[in-house]
Amino acid sequence: MSANNLTAARESGDAEAINSAATDLALRLARMHLLGNATSGERRGWNIRDTDRDLPLDEMLRTAVANDTLDTFFALMRPAHPQYSALMAAYELEEDPEHQATIARNMERWRWMPRSLGEDYVLVNAAKFEADLWRDGSHVGTWRVIVGTQRTPTPVFRATIEGVILNPWWEIPTSIVRESVGALVRNNPSLARSRGYVVQNGRYRQRPGPNNALGQMKLVMPNPYSVYMHDTPNRQLFEQDVRSFSHGCIRTGDAIGFATTLLEGVATREDVDAILETGRTTTLSIAQPTPVYVTYFTAVANADGSVALLDDLYGRDRTIRAITKGGETKAAAPAAPQGGQRRSLMDCRN
């Protein structure tokens, strides 16, 4: 509509109308670059607040016009992450329309993120089964993760990592108590005790130990979904290509190495190992609280600049318009991922 308004204004020759219509069109384009163009239905389930909504775009545009820096203004509207730049380059070169549509959907998702994620952060991509740590603007390392099944998908959200719990207790979610643990405690108390299950004031818990569902560590990262990054005793599952076995939480490969990296400046690996050896539950605060973004991207850039298209594990791509085709796509049930899948009780999510 804004383009039509500008055309009408230009035909009228009214300078004030032309200026107003051009400003409206520029702001609309800026918001599309910065915030995306998806409907609320297409964004459903994306629970990361885009702080770019708070930017004073009107004032920024006026300054850009006054200083003749419109190109810079629009460049600053695009996501700053190198993943977005790589996707944009791949989109321009891609000839397959379906591949191009997948890349476009993921470029759109990047616009739903804050333009800058900060200098220090953790980025979890559930579709890739990986977590990346960034510090001082540089990539530190990548860790394999296990995420939720199709029935219990890992949600998209942002939280802040505040610390690390070593030798954690597991507060067993009500759903899992109903599903299995409650019956085990009632019907086979000796086996329940051998697995560390206890009932205290109506709370079902599991003691720290080799069978604990959280393994040897759990991150302190409060969030409304009761979803956490943690260790697991089932470490052989990290060898699977498709790692969707949890109730929603994020089991982390080399969890102690990951925790030790987060604890740099607070505790060494030797300190961490000594605490683990005691078996006592210990909470250590990290030196600098760090944001963690739990995301879902099905097109990702590799280290060599190429772009990989991933399986749409949760069927979320189909909820976003095929932007290159300009139409709506119908939601469909996600296809079962290759490599097999099993349900597990080893998790911390309600």
- Other CB atoms within a 10 A radius of the CB of residue 27 amount to 15
Does the structure show a pLDDT above 60 at 1? no
Return the pLDDT at 182.
Answer: 87
Query: Is CATH 3.40.50.300 the classification given to domain 98-169+208-350?
Result: no
**What is the residue-averaged pLDDT of the chain?**
89
3-state SS string for 170-222 = EECCHHHHHHHHHHHHHHCHHHHHHCCEEEECCEEEECCCCCCCCCCEEEECC
* Higher per-residue confidence, 252 vs 210: 252
CB 151 within 8 A of CB 173: no
∠ Cα 317 150 243 (to 5°): 95
Of 106, 107, 109, which is closest to residue 48 (Cα–Cα)? 109
Give residue-wise pLDDT tens across range 233-260.
999 999 999 999 999 999 999 999 999 9
Q: Report the Cα–Cα distance between both ends of the chain, in Å, rounded.
A: 46
Give residue-wise pLDDT tens across range 300-317.
999 888 999 999 999 999
The arithmetic mean of pLDDT across residues 265-287, rounded, is 97
CB 213 within 8 A of CB 251: no
The arithmetic mean of pLDDT across residues 152-170, rounded, is 97
Domain ranges of the chain: 1-77, 98-169+208-350
pTM above 0.95, yes or no: no
Does the structure show a pLDDT above 50 at 347? no
Question: What is the spatial distance between Cα 42 and Cα 319, in angstroms, rounded to a whole number?
Answer: 5
Give the amino acid at 284.
L
Does the structure show a pLDDT above 60 at 327? no
Which residues, listed in sequence order, are joined to residue 293 by a DSSP beta bridge?
123, 158
The arithmetic mean of pLDDT across residues 144-153, rounded, is 97
Give residue-wise pLDDT tens across range 90-116.
999 999 999 999 999 999 999 999 999
What string of DSSP letters covers 36-82?
-S--TTTTTTEE---GGGGS-HHHHHHHHHHHT-HHHHHHTTS--SH
CB 50 within 8 A of CB 31: no
CB 191 within 8 A of CB 253: no
